[in-house]
Structure 1
């Protein structure tokens, strides 16, 4: 189970770095740029924090919150008209939430041990 979480943490770091650096090749406004940079850095840091301390489950929950914030940022920060920046936020946000949920202790225990309705139950 630990190697699975390590892979998820690495994916979170890559997603965060991608989002944080994406304003370098995307057309953005100041709001779009700062949303992608700040939320990208927070996603990457939550992945790194979980790598450093795998028992720190708050990093998974924080990562999920950052993913949701990333997903809604184009509407909240009013850059949904910028297709590249908004699609980056939406895709990275959804993938971050998926990674965070799959790394949560209860979900990963069910998925990997086949317990009561998990993915591996059959």
Structure 2
């Protein structure tokens, strides 16, 4: 027999754990670089840009376009890596709670 109350409690438990896991993402940080380390970008697991570091040698008005390209590259790498780490953390926090059902799309939950 189907236990509706038990199922509802499992759903509430899963929602609470997902909320905690999502809140923890802001504490995960990733730093990526471009231009052999001349530009570094740091992002959090919830895909927020936290910091940009630029080597002083790039502070030349003649190198504006190169600086812009390197900043974009470093930021994109940091956000991609932060997103991956965030997904890993969410999966780790919710492991065993969500059944592995073929075709079940959980992308809306950040998984």
TM-score (norm 2): 0.36
Higher helix fraction (1 or 2)? 1
Higher strand fraction (1 or 2)? 2
| Greater radius of gyration (CA) | 2
